[in-house]
Amino acid sequence: MTCCDLITALGNLQKSTAKLKHKWADTKAHWNDATQRQFEEDFLAPLAPNVTLAIAAVHQLSDILDEAFRECEEGDDSFL
């Protein structure tokens, strides 16, 4: 991953999220009580919307950085 390779980091986030969902499904097959439901409600349920927001933000930031790099490569010295 390069300095600003956000897409690779985003892929890692998505893979990790998928792995967590899979492992949680396996865990729920063996743990089914009030504590499990409270843990899911308090810690896991809030993750999904936050990950979705993070993915959108990373895409937006990646686009902005790509544009900034393109502008820097063009060598526009008009601000000097």
Q: What is the pLDDT of residue 78?
A: 59
pLDDT given at position 71: 87
pLDDT of residue 5: 79
Q: Does residue 54 sit within a domain?
A: yes
Question: Is residue 69 in some structural domain?
Answer: yes
pLDDT, residue 80, reads: 52
Indicate whether 41 belongs to any domain.
Answer: no
Domain count, the chain: 1
Query: Does residue 17 form part of some domain?
Result: no
Question: Helices 6-28 and 47-73: crossing angle, nearest 10°?
Answer: 170
Q: Which residue, among 56, 75, 64, 72, has the nearest Cα to 4 in the 3D structure? A: 64
Q: Is 7 part of any domain?
A: no
The answer to whether position 26 is within a domain reads no
Q: Please report whether residue 10 resides in a domain.
A: no
| pLDDT above 50: residue 17 | yes
34-56 residue pLDDT tens: 999 999 999 999 999 999 999 99
In a domain, 15, yes or no: no
* pLDDT at residue number 4: 62
